[in-house]
Amino acid sequence: MTFPFTALVGQPELQRALLLAAVDPAIGGVLVSGPRGTAKSTAARALAAMLPQAPFVTLPLAASLEQLVGTLDLEDALRDGRVRLKPGLLARAHGGVLYVDEVNLLPDALVDALLDVAASGVNTIERDGISQQHAARFVLVGTMNPEEGELRPQLLDRFGLSVVLENPRDAALRQAILRTRLAFDEDPQALLDRHAPELARLGEQVVAARAALPGLGWSDEVLARAAEAALAAGVDGMRADLVMLRAARALAALQGQGAVTPADVDAVAELALAHRRSERAAPAPQAAKPPMPAPAPSSKPAPADDDGDWGALPPEPVGTTRVLSTGAWPPKKA
């Protein structure tokens, strides 16, 4: 049994980033930086469990490139002229979540291949001049502990979104986490039953949002907002703008909106900019934005205790997720 996604305590930015990537995997994955034991793997597993038939695949640090991308069986080809594909982990992750722990310790060639496929949704396997392709759409979740090394800027830039987690420093927050986790360990089914309606609702929202993506475009106003935010952050190139726009559209779709708005760009900007901000740029605004986007305008009246579509997530104690304020990523400890 898997810990329910909606039972995570105090991780609104992480939940949001994962949901956006689940709506549009072409966003290119989520890089989660944080100390041990801050629910990185719990959250990624929980996302897969919430989505219909979404496999959860872990990439071991010692995996070879072949294990990751798969290989072509050319011996068969010599025998009967047919090239058979031996699928790798990328094929197994199709439609689900690919979790890479300590991505900063993975050889560059593997990270490179991972990020390419994550953003394109297509895996190409080549051997001796023959090539085959298969669809590989998955939510890439890479984690790293900043104490154990950095990720090269070229690779950082190619992760779609990033979130920085911190040790929960507040006793009340720790208590809330403990209560929930102990409740799950004591009686997982009871906690799952309690969260079942919210999990089902959020899962359906993701599926509906995926279907709504092609119908949502970007107005000039929305493009301008993304361009301004990227300029202010002093990013290199255009990836930040592009990811921001995709993420804003995914958010609008999740909220059931008929159009992407500049407010959607604002709501996702930091997820796209934090790991791309130049040290020369102005610090990120210490945004006092709400932990979750405003509820979708809904035609049906919400019940009194319902705070809208994102209200499915638990009330958030302040403080495990940090909005970055310097150009360094991952941020240095104070």
Ligand X SMILES: Nc1ncnc2c1ncn2[C@@H]1O[C@H](COP(=O)(O)OP(=O)(O)OP(=O)(O)O)[C@@H](O)[C@H]1O
> Catalytic residue numbers?
239
Q: Which helix (H) or strand (E) holds 98?
A: strand 97-100
Length of the chain as a residue count: 334
83-102 residues in contact with ligand X (CB under 6 A) are 101
With binding defined as CB under 6 A, does residue 149 bind ligand X?
A: no
With binding defined as CB under 6 A, does residue 58 bind ligand X?
A: no
130 or 182: whose CB is closer to ligand X?
182
CA 305 and chain centroid, separation: 28
CA 88/CA 185 separation, integer angstroms: 33
SS3 319: coil
SS3 215: helix
With binding defined as CB under 6 A, does residue 4 bind ligand X?
A: no
21 or 233: whose CB is closer to ligand X?
21
N- to C-terminal Cα separation, the chain: 38
Residue 277 token pair: 């901000």
179-208 residues in contact with ligand X (CB under 6 A) are 180-181
CA 41/CA 52 separation, integer angstroms: 19
Residue written as token pair 């592009």: 242
With binding defined as CB under 6 A, does residue 36 bind ligand X?
A: yes
CA 327 vs CA 142, 184, 215, 229: distances in Å: 20, 38, 35, 14
Query: Using the rule CB under 6 A, which residue among 4, 6, 9, 29 binds ligand X?
Result: 9
With binding defined as CB under 6 A, does residue 10 bind ligand X?
A: yes
User: DSSP letter at 317?
Assistant: P
- Per-residue contact flags (x/-) with ligand X for residues 155 to 184, judged by CB under 6 A: ----------------------x--xx---
Stretch that binds ligand X, among 1-9, 239-247, 258-266, 274-282 (CB under 6 A): 1-9
Stretch that binds ligand X, among 36-44, 79-87, 248-256, 308-316 (CB under 6 A): 36-44
Contacts with ligand X, residue ranges (CB under 6 A): 3, 8-11, 36-42, 101, 177, 180-181
